């Protein structure tokens, strides 16, 4: 079938089906859902990073109008509302430390913002007023406020652990060989990079509404979650409520970026308190509250060393990561750095590879997944280090990359990387060629030289990054090997309704990605129906009982493939019915653009949509064939998918103020086959901005007592459209060998490529000063101070 | 982000507003556009018992007039109205320009000149502009009307000489000619200035944004230019009398550096060689 915008199947730039409801305000988010008799939770949050709770006086709060109850952590523990701490699903080693993380701290707090008591009131205002009246007395303990302090291991974030170290995890088969490669290296570089903590800051904050049923102990939880299915399982395990009595619904969800991929105290509190009170219980986090109530991203110190021969060809890479867990292990906290562990060699071949990660507790908000989750960190380290190696060898950034690309930059399939996993497919050189051409890097370098020669105030910098990422999480066996508790399959159901319309039930749950559109396009192409005839049901565990949700750029490469496979099963069953009508053998019945016909007699045909009623009425089905056309598939991918690309960032630096202006961005990505290029481009745009934001703007700043100092969006600088240039995108297409659609993922790719590209550009601009590195975010003050320091050193 | 309870009075006239202020004393807070007050209330950094809303008073309190070499601006004139006023573009183009870079369009459509001045935030753009222009601020209170020179108005961080029972009604400026410029340095388009420098009337007025607890005149720069100094030499003195704050965007030393860089740029853009 030819792809056109008219048929809107796979490959067409169909406008998103979701957007009408979103842009007109019709879509219902959690905060829009109200239930008669509902109670608001107000959280009394710790103002101390590490302290014993001496006393909590809630007497004044309990007397306030509209307040139904105030419960401290100790009281809640005595009520036995939960049977287990909040879960960590990824105990990465057998001996990993995992101090219990209760929804409300019973006796000791371990980070600012941890809940110490909860208020239930009949209004949000009443809850907020009562929270202010709760008096908590703390006995301070030494707070571990930074990674360096955690590693020093003198003060302990959890006093009873006796150490801040949570685990050590390594891929290090031949440490002596790696060392020998460094001893023999013609060139080597040693780098230390900080991946600063980031606040995810989705447009919609998190929120919950738990609604008890009138009878039977059932409870429905509405949550702004990326993972309603996982939440249901974990809520049952944590509360002891039988799983079949819990229904989780994620209504319209306004972005997540990993921050809604967790099992949070508020979710467990809402479920258990709704059951206890027999009334709906709700909470919506405020933006400032989110700094303590929702996990943060990144938080690593990275040490990366490269060794090469005299031509700049890599001979060894050695990596050590100190990863900040924060105060507790949340759902996948310890595993996030390991998602990057397989990628610290980037797109390059290296004979020797050594990786060690140590996880450390601090008295800060827990960390967990944030767009890219481990891979942006890895990509940043190797791509910054490769630029540093290029300075050392004396060749251009593009040349050092070409010399080291896997398979010499030529196409490959199933290449086994030094960390022991196989890249499904790749072809890196064309993305570099196209990016250099699109950005006119030759022209930019000439202009850069002109400005340098003229001594102009505004200097140009050009930065490159070729990234590869690991997504499509994931083969269940591989996850088991990594000690992740769950599998990585995805479930889909496709049903052809009596009237010929199609219902798709998706186990992957969108929070802005456009699943309804993409899944409709897959069905349109597979089944030969209009996408308007397709409805996608999702994000409700009663409608879609099986699913593993949305994270790790997995929806299309796992869930979308499951949709496609379920559609094929429907077609195969429909083929039997068509053959029966035609009185032909099923193998003689062809299917093309939605119509079945007998080979050689095209005049005799029936459209698949007409067979919906036939299968429903069941008056004349082949002997033994069950009525109805509904099929389901659980697809467990045989491998991950490995998208890649080359990005070029162009910055202009005002050397007098230190201001960095991102003036150009050129992204050439390869995510295999595309379902909807419009959605793909949108993902690249958003991803690029999120990575550029880390490079130039965002950092969660903690003081030496582990207080966050910039929790509001006045001080935590999320860039707006005014701060970013128009982003130029192009694509190459190297289909995945992991799945029959040949698709990879693209939700995180932009973020994985852009921070390194932007900082490489910043450093490129400043190189005449002898500056070879720049910490993130490259704020104007930081850039100006680096220039002044370089000038001072030179004079 | 949930404000404490407060009573709300919508004033139908200046007299009603003044009566409400007189009745409630320091419990009351005037609200014009609300774009400074409401965020502070949502953080519970201020908890007024009574909010007296004057945002809907129009008439003389809203609008721009030019007569006899004086520009008269009603205190409730929106930033967007300053930005787009043809009269102001002729009579005082610098003020129109400064208004155009305040916050974002939503802020400029609600925020008022009088509200911005009364709020007295040293990081705001318009107080420094009004200071550089040598404006006169007109306030009304129970004892009648008084005129306050802009130079005397700002007394501290978010503090002015306005009494609890007074409200600003009008801002008067001389029609302003000569070279002018505004340099605003920030990281995101909608943010406050990390440092800003206003040059008015061929540098007869030079003022600084976010370089101390109040908006301030860079007197040394003005005198140096008047004495014939070059832009570079004059700008070198920009931070001499300042005690700038330190925050995540810039420490005091960096702010001093920025003040010198931006002053030189502003002077040159205003035609001072």
Query: Could you report the per-residue pLDDT of A129-177, keeping only the tens digit for each?
Result: 999 999 999 999 999 999 999 999 999 999 999 999 999 999 999 999 9
Give the residue from A653, A657, A693, A789 with the most B CB atoms within 10 Å of its CB, the best one to mutate: A657
* Predicted local confidence at residue A78, as pLDDT: 96
Q: How many domains would you assign to chain B? A: 3
Is residue A710 within 8 angstroms of chain B, CB to CB? yes
With CA atoms as reference, the chain B residue closest to A724 would be: B188
Separation CA B98–CA B88 (nearest Å): 12
Tens-digit pLDDT profile for residues A210-228: 999 866 679 999 999 999 9
CB contact under 8 A, A657 and B261: yes
Is residue A6's pLDDT more than 80?
A: no
**Of A349, A233, A230, A369, nearest in space to A299 by CA:** A369
Residue A124 CB neighbours (<10 A): 18
Do A138 and A51 form a contact (C-beta atoms < 8 A)? yes
Give a yes or no: residue B184 inside a domain: no
CB contact under 8 A, B189 and A785: no
Do A92 and A166 form a contact (C-beta atoms < 8 A)? no
Phi, psi of B129 (to 5 degrees): -65, -45
Contacts of A697 in chain B (CB under 8 A): 187-188
The alpha carbon torsion through A548, A551, A556, A558 (nearest 10 deg) reads: -40
Question: In chain A, which among 267-296 make CB contacts under 8 A with chain B?
Answer: 286-289
Instruction: Tell me the sheet residues that pair with B138.
Output: B147, B170
CB contact under 8 A, A657 and B258: yes
Is residue A795's pLDDT more than 60?
A: no
Do B268 and B213 form a contact (C-beta atoms < 8 A)? no
Do B83 and B108 form a contact (C-beta atoms < 8 A)? yes
Instruction: Tell me the sheet residues that pair with B194.
Output: none
Is residue A659 within 8 angstroms of chain B, CB to CB? yes
Contacts of A785 in chain B (CB under 8 A): 254
Phi, psi of A726 (to 5 degrees): -65, 130
Tens-digit pLDDT profile for residues A647-656: 999 999 999 9
Tell me the DSSP string of A40-53.
EEEEEE-SSSSEEE
Is residue B5 within 8 angstroms of chain A, CB to CB? yes
Whether residues B117 and B207 share a domain: the answer is no
Tens-digit pLDDT profile for residues A109-128: 999 999 999 999 999 999 99
What is the DSSP code (8-state) at residue A557?
Answer: I
Is residue A133 within 8 angstroms of chain B, CB to CB? no
Separation CA A318–CA A344 (nearest Å): 9
Tens-digit pLDDT profile for residues A363-372: 999 999 999 9
Whether residues B77 and B49 share a domain: the answer is no
CB contact under 8 A, B251 and A781: yes
Q: Per this entry, what is the length of chain A?
A: 795
* Predicted local confidence at residue B59, as pLDDT: 82
Take residue A82 and report the two structure tokens written for it.
Answer: 């939960």
- State the burial class of residue A2 (Cβ atoms within 10 Å of its Cβ: 0-12, 13-18, 19+): exposed
Is residue A656 within 8 angstroms of chain B, CB to CB? yes
- State the burial class of residue A43 (Cβ atoms within 10 Å of its Cβ: 0-12, 13-18, 19+): buried
CB contact under 8 A, B188 and A129: no
CB contact under 8 A, B258 and A723: no
User: What is the three-class DSSP state of B132?
Assistant: helix
Contacts of B189 in chain A (CB under 8 A): 720, 722-723
Give a yes or no: residue B185 inside a domain: no
Contacts of B194 in chain A (CB under 8 A): 780
Say if A19-27+489-635 and A300-415+423-473+639-794 have the same CATH topology. yes
Whether residues B46 and B66 share a domain: the answer is no
B85 vs chain A: nearest CA distance in angstroms? 25
Whether residues B18 and B122 share a domain: the answer is no
Whether residues B93 and B160 share a domain: the answer is yes
Is residue A484's pLDDT more than 70?
A: yes
Do A68 and A156 form a contact (C-beta atoms < 8 A)? no
**Helical residues (DSSP H) of A583-724, grouped into ranges:** 611-617, 677-696
The proportion of chain A whose per-residue pLDDT surpasses 70, expressed as a percent, equals 98
Which CATH number does the domain housing residue B16 bear?
Answer: 3.30.43.10
* Predicted local confidence at residue B224, as pLDDT: 98
CB contact under 8 A, A288 and B43: yes
CB contact under 8 A, B1 and A287: yes
Is residue B45 within 8 angstroms of chain A, CB to CB? no
CB contact under 8 A, A720 and B189: yes
Contacts of B190 in chain A (CB under 8 A): 720, 722
Whether residues B95 and B154 share a domain: the answer is yes
Give a yes or no: residue B183 inside a domain: no
Is residue A2's pLDDT more than 50?
A: no
Do A501 and A534 form a contact (C-beta atoms < 8 A)? yes
- Please, which pLDDT band fits residue A793 given cuts at 50, 70 and 90? low
Tens-digit pLDDT profile for residues A699-722: 999 999 999 999 999 999 999 999
A296 vs chain B: nearest CA distance in angstroms? 19
Q: For chains A and B, what is the number of CB pairs under 8 angstroms?
A: 59
Tens-digit pLDDT profile for residues A300-312: 999 999 999 999 9
Q: Tell the CATH topology of A300-415+423-473+639-794.
A: Aldehyde Oxidoreductase; domain 4 (3.30.365)
Do B79 and B108 form a contact (C-beta atoms < 8 A)? yes
Take residue A301 and report the two structure tokens written for it.
Answer: 């110190």
Tens-digit pLDDT profile for residues A413-469: 999 998 889 999 999 999 999 999 999 999 999 999 999 999 999 999 999 999 999
Describe the crossing of helices A429-439 and A397-404 by its angle, rounded to 10 degrees.
160
Is residue B257 within 8 angstroms of chain A, CB to CB? yes
Q: Which of the listed CATH numbers 3.90.1150.10, 3.30.420.40, 3.30.365.10, 3.90.1300.10 matches domain A19-27+489-635?
A: 3.30.365.10
Tens-digit pLDDT profile for residues A236-265: 999 999 999 999 999 999 999 999 999 999
**Helical residues (DSSP H) of A413-559, grouped into ranges:** 429-439, 441-454, 476-481, 515-527
Tell me the DSSP string of A488-514.
--EEEEEEE-TTS-EEEEESS--SSS-
Q: What angle do CA B131, B134, B140 make, to 5 degrees?
A: 85
The alpha carbon torsion through A400, A401, A407, A408 (nearest 10 deg) reads: -50
Tell me the pLDDT of chain A averaged across its residues.
96
Whether residues B15 and B82 share a domain: the answer is no
Tell me the residue range of the domain where B22 lies. Answer: 7-53
* Predicted local confidence at residue A215, as pLDDT: 65
Separation CA A652–CA A658 (nearest Å): 10
Whether residues B37 and B84 share a domain: the answer is no
**Helical residues (DSSP H) of B101-251, grouped into ranges:** 105-110, 113-119, 125-132, 150-153, 219-226, 231-235
CB contact under 8 A, B261 and A719: no
Give a yes or no: residue B180 inside a domain: no
Is residue B177's pLDDT more than 90?
A: no
Q: Structural domain boundaries of chain A?
A: 19-27+489-635, 33-141+202-286, 300-415+423-473+639-794
Tens-digit pLDDT profile for residues B217-261: 999 999 999 999 999 999 999 999 999 999 999 999 999 999 999
Tens-digit pLDDT profile for residues A382-402: 999 999 999 999 999 999 999
A656 vs chain B: nearest CA distance in angstroms? 7
Average pLDDT over residues B67-94: 97
**Of A758, A756, A666, A726, nearest in space to A439 by CA:** A666
Give a yes or no: residue B85 inside a domain: yes
CB contact under 8 A, A701 and B248: yes
Is residue A697 within 8 angstroms of chain B, CB to CB? yes
Going from the C-alpha of A175 to that of each of A51, A396, B166, the distances in angstroms are 41, 30, 76
Is residue A1's pLDDT more than 50?
A: no
CB contact under 8 A, B185 and A287: no
Whether residues B17 and B77 share a domain: the answer is no
Please tell me which of the candidates B248, B258, B262 has its beta carbon nearest to residue A710: B248
Take residue A332 and report the two structure tokens written for it.
Answer: 């996948």
Separation CA A565–CA A608 (nearest Å): 16
| Phi/psi-derived region of residue A28, left when phi > 0, alpha when psi is between -120 and 50, beta in every other case | beta
Tens-digit pLDDT profile for residues A516-555: 999 999 999 999 999 999 999 999 999 999 999 999 999 9
Separation CA A773–CA A181 (nearest Å): 25
Q: Tell the CATH topology of A33-141+202-286.
A: Aldehyde Oxidoreductase; domain 3 (3.90.1170)
A723 vs chain B: nearest CA distance in angstroms? 6
CB contact under 8 A, B2 and A128: yes
Tell me the DSSP string of A206-219.
PEEEEEE-SSTT-E
Instruction: Tell me the sheet residues that pair with A641.
Output: A471
Describe the crossing of helices B252-269 and B219-226 by its angle, rounded to 10 degrees.
30
The proportion of chain B whose per-residue pLDDT surpasses 90, expressed as a percent, equals 97
Do A756 and A696 form a contact (C-beta atoms < 8 A)? no
| Phi/psi-derived region of residue A553, left when phi > 0, alpha when psi is between -120 and 50, beta in every other case | left
A354 vs chain B: nearest CA distance in angstroms? 37
Whether residues B30 and B73 share a domain: the answer is no
Instruction: Tell me the sheet residues that pair with A318.
Output: A305, A354
Domain finish residue from B148, B174, B200: B174
With CA atoms as reference, the chain A residue closest to B248 would be: A715
Tens-digit pLDDT profile for residues A734-778: 999 999 999 999 999 999 999 999 999 999 999 999 999 999 999
Separation CA A710–CA A691 (nearest Å): 19
CB contact under 8 A, B190 and A722: yes
Separation CA A206–CA A204 (nearest Å): 7
* Predicted local confidence at residue B60, as pLDDT: 81
Which CATH number does the domain housing residue B105 bear?
Answer: 3.30.465.10
Phi, psi of B44 (to 5 degrees): 60, 30
CB contact under 8 A, A709 and B248: yes
With CA atoms as reference, the chain B residue closest to A123 would be: B2
Contacts of B238 in chain A (CB under 8 A): none
Take residue A289 and report the two structure tokens written for it.
Answer: 């509250």
Do A281 and A254 form a contact (C-beta atoms < 8 A)? no
* Predicted local confidence at residue A50, as pLDDT: 98
Is residue B250 within 8 angstroms of chain A, CB to CB? yes
Do A567 and A527 form a contact (C-beta atoms < 8 A)? yes
Going from the C-alpha of A304 to that of each of A133, A361, A749, the distances in angstroms are 50, 22, 22
Average pLDDT over residues B178-204: 97
**Of B235, B223, B226, nearest in space to B267 by CA:** B235
* Predicted local confidence at residue B1, as pLDDT: 81
Going from the C-alpha of B145 to that of each of A131, B140, B169, the distances in angstroms are 44, 4, 9
* Predicted local confidence at residue A3, as pLDDT: 45
* Predicted local confidence at residue A565, as pLDDT: 98
Please tell me which of the candidates B185, B188, B190 has its beta carbon nearest to residue A657: B185
Which CATH number does the domain housing residue B249 bear?
Answer: 3.30.390.50
Tens-digit pLDDT profile for residues A649-681: 999 999 999 999 999 999 999 999 999 999 999
Is residue B261 within 8 angstroms of chain A, CB to CB? yes
A658 vs chain B: nearest CA distance in angstroms? 9
Average pLDDT over residues B119-129: 98
Whether residues B75 and B159 share a domain: the answer is yes
User: What is the three-class DSSP state of A381?
Assistant: helix
With CA atoms as reference, the chain B residue closest to A127 would be: B2
Is residue A657 within 8 angstroms of chain B, CB to CB? yes
Whether residues B152 and B215 share a domain: the answer is no
Tally the C-alpha atoms within 13 A of residue A733's C-alpha that lie toward its C-beta: 9
């Amino acid at each position: 079938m030819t792809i056109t915008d008219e048929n809107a199947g796979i490959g067409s730039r169909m406008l998103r089906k979701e957007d009408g409801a979103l842009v007109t305000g019709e879509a219902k988010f959690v905060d829009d859902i109200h239930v008669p008799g509902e109670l608001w939770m107000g959280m009394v949050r710790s103002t101390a990073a590490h302290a014993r709770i001496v006393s909590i006086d809630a007497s004044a709060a309990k007397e306030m109008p509209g307040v139904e109850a105030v419960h401290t952590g100790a009281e809640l523990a005595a009520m036995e509302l939960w049977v287990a701490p909040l879960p960590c699903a990824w105990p990465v080693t057998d001996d990993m430390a995992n101090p219990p993380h209760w929804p409300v701290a019973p006796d000791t707090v371990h980070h600012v913002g941890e809940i110490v008591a909860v208020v239930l009131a009949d209004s949000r205002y009443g809850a907020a007023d009562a929270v202010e009246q709760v008096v908590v007395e703390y006995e301070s303990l030494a707070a571990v406020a930074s990674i360096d302090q955690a590693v020093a291991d003198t003060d302990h974030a959890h006093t009873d652990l006796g150490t801040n170290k949570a685990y050590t995890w390594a891929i290090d088969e031949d440490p002596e060989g790696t060392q020998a490669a460094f001893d023999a290296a013609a060139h080597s570089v040693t780098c230390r990079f900080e991946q600063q903590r980031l606040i995810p800051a989705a447009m919609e904050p998190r929120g919950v509404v738990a609604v008890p049923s009138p009878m039977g102990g059932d409870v429905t939880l509405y949550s702004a979650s990326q993972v309603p299915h996982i939440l249901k399982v974990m809520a049952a395990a944590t509360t002891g409520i039988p799983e079949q009595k819990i229904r989780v619904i994620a209504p319209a969800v306004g972005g997540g970026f990993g921050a809604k991929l967790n099992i949070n105290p508020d979710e467990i509190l809402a479920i258990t308190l709704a059951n206890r009170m027999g009334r709906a219980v709700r909470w919506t986090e405020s933006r400032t509250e989110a700094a303590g109530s929702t996990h943060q991203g990144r938080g690593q110190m990275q040490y990366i060393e490269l060794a090469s021969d005299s031509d700049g060809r890599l001979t060894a890479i050695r990596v050590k990561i100190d990863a900040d867990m924060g105060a507790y292990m949340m759902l996948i906290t310890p595993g996030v750095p390991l998602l990057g562990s397989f990628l610290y060699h980037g797109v390059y071949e290296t004979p020797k590879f050594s990786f060690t990660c140590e996880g450390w507790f601090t008295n800060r908000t827990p960390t967990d997944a944030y767009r890219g989750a481990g891979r942006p960190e890895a990509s940043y380290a190797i791509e910054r280090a490769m630029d540093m190696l290029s300075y050392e060898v004396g060749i251009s950034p593009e040349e050092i990359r070409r010399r080291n690309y896997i398979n010499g930059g030529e196409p490959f399939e199933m290449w086994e990387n030094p960390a022991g996993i196989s890249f499904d497919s790749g072809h890196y050189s064309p993305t570099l060629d196209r990016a250099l051409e699109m950005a006119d890097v030759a022209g930019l370098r000439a202009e850069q030289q002109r400005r340098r020669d003229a001594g102009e105030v505004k200097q140009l910098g050009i930065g490159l990054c070729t990234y590869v990422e690991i997504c499509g999480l994931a083969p269940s066996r591989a996850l088991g090997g990594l000690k992740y508790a769950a599998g990585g399959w995805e479930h889909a159901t496709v049903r052809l309704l009596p009237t010929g319309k199609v219902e798709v039930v998706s186990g992957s749950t969108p929070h802005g990605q456009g699943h309804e559109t993409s899944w409709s396009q897959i069905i349109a192409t597979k089944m030969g129906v209009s996408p308007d005839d397709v409805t996608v049901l999702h994000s409700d565990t009663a409608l879609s009982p099986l699913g593993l949700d949305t994270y790790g750029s997995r929806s299309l490469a796992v869930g979308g493939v499951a949709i496609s496979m379920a559609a094929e099963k429907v077609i195969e069953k429909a083929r039997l019915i068509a053959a029966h009508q035609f009185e032909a053998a099923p193998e003689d019945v062809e299917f093309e653009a939605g119509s079945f016909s007998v080979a050689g007699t095209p005049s005799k045909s029936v459209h698949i949509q007409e067979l919906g009623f036939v299968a429903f009425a069941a008056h004349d089905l082949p002997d033994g064939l069950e009525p109805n056309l509904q099929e389901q598939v659980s697809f467990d991918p045989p491998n991950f998918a490995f998208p890649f690309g080359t990005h070029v960032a162009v910055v202009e630096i005002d050397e007098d103020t230190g201001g960095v202006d991102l003036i150009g961005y050129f992204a050439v990505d390869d995510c295999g086959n595309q379902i909807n290029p419009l959605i793909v481009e949108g993902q690249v745009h958003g991803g690029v901005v999120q990575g550029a934001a880390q490079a130039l703007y965002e950092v969660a700043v903690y003081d030496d007592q582990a207080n966050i100092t910039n929790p509001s969006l006045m001080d935590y600088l999320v860039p707006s459209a005014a701060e970013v240039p128009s982003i130029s995108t192009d694509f190459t297409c190297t289909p995945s060998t992991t799945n029959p659609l040949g698709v990879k993922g693209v939700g995180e790719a932009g973020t994985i490529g852009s921070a390194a590209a932007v900082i490489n550009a910043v450093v490129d601009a400043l190189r005449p000063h002898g500056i070879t590195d720049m910490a993130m975010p490259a704020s104007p003050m930081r850039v100006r101070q680096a220039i002044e320091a370089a000038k001072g050193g030179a004079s | 982000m949930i404000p404490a309870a407060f009573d709300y009075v919508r004033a139908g006239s200046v007299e009603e507003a003044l009566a409400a202020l007189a009745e409630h004393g320091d419990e009351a807070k005037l609200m014009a556009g609300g774009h400074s007050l409401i965020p502070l209330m949502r953080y519970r950094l201020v908890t007024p018992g009574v909010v007296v809303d004057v945002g809907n008073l129009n008439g003389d309190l809203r609008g721009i007039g030019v007569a006899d070499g004086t520009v008269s601006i009603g205190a409730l004139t929106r930033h967007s109205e300053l930005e787009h006023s043809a009269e102001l573009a002729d009579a005082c183009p610098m003020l129109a320009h400064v208004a155009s870079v305040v916050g974002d369009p939503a802020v400029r459509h609600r925020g008022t000149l009088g509200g911005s001045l009364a709020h007295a935030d040293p990081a705001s753009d318009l107080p420094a502009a009004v200071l550089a222009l040598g404006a006169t601020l007109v306030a009304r209170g129970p004892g009648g009307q008084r005129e306050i020179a802009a130079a005397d108005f700002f007394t501290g961080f978010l503090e002015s000489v306005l009494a609890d029972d007074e409200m600003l009604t009008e801002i008067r400026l001389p029609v302003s000619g000569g070279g002018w410029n505004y340099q605003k340095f920030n990281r995101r388009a909608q943010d406050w200035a990390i440092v800003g420098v206003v040059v008015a009337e061929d540098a007869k007025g030079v003022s600084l944004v976010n370089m101390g607890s109040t908006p301030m005149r860079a007197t040394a720069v003005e005198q140096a230019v008047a004495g014939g100094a070059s832009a570079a030499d004059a700008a070198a003195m920009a931070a001499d009398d300042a005690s700038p704050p330190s925050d995540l965007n810039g420490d005091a030393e960096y702010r001093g550096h920025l003040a010198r860089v931006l002053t030189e740029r502003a002077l040159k853009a205003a035609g001072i060689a």
